[in-house]
Amino acid sequence: MKTVKKEIRKNVPKPKKSPVAKEGDVRRLVQLLRINQIELEHQNLELRIAQEELEVSRNKYVNLFDFAPIPYFTLNREGIIKEVNLIASKIFGVDRNKLVGKRFVTFIPMEERDIFNMFIEVVFGSYVKNSCELNIMNKNKNVFRVRLEGFELKDTLETEQKCQVALIEL
């Protein structure tokens, strides 16, 4: 029986002693942590600056789009209004928030809707600016002749295809 206990003790690994870190190793680790902290703070500052620059750029775009003297619309492939500027809202006599989500074709007389639908197909099938002429009705059913000029927006961040359309009164 004694030999079995001795055999078991031989086969059981002895617990390893944890190495005590040397003072120099600890100082090097602390120094590395400080360097990493400085690098992270620098990267964080660069990100904040980039975010502020992006915000300024976005605000410039919004101001250019919103206050342009020409009515602009962003439409999806189905002709649904996704974005609209202030002058377009004024021309149609409808609040901007009520235009977004509406089908653009609802402002076109029935007999000319095919022209618009063909225009949308051509815009999304081409890499150049396209145009068409047709009549448009505002909220009060006043009809006026316009030229639509549009091109597809190439945005790698969004999956939905969109085009931008300018409305020029004739």
Residues facing 145 on adjacent strands: 135
List the chain pLDDT tens, one digit each, 170 residues: 555 555 555 665 665 555 555 777 888 888 888 999 999 899 999 999 989 998 888 888 878 888 889 999 999 999 999 999 999 999 999 999 999 999 999 999 999 999 999 999 999 988 899 999 999 999 998 999 999 999 998 876 778 899 999 999 98
Q: CA-CA distance, 79 to 73, in Å (whole number)?
A: 10
Q: What are phi and psi of 116, to 5 degrees?
A: -65, -45
Task: Return the closest-CA partner of residue 116 out of 132, 103, 101, 128.
Answer: 132
**Tokens representing residue 100 in the block:** 């977004």
Strands 162-169 and 81-84: unpaired
| Cα distance between residue 7 and residue 3, in whole Å | 6
Q: How far apart are the C-alpha atoms of 120 and 137, rounded to whole Å?
A: 18
- pTM for the full predicted model: 0.68
Pairwise CA distance, residues 71 & 86, whole Å? 7
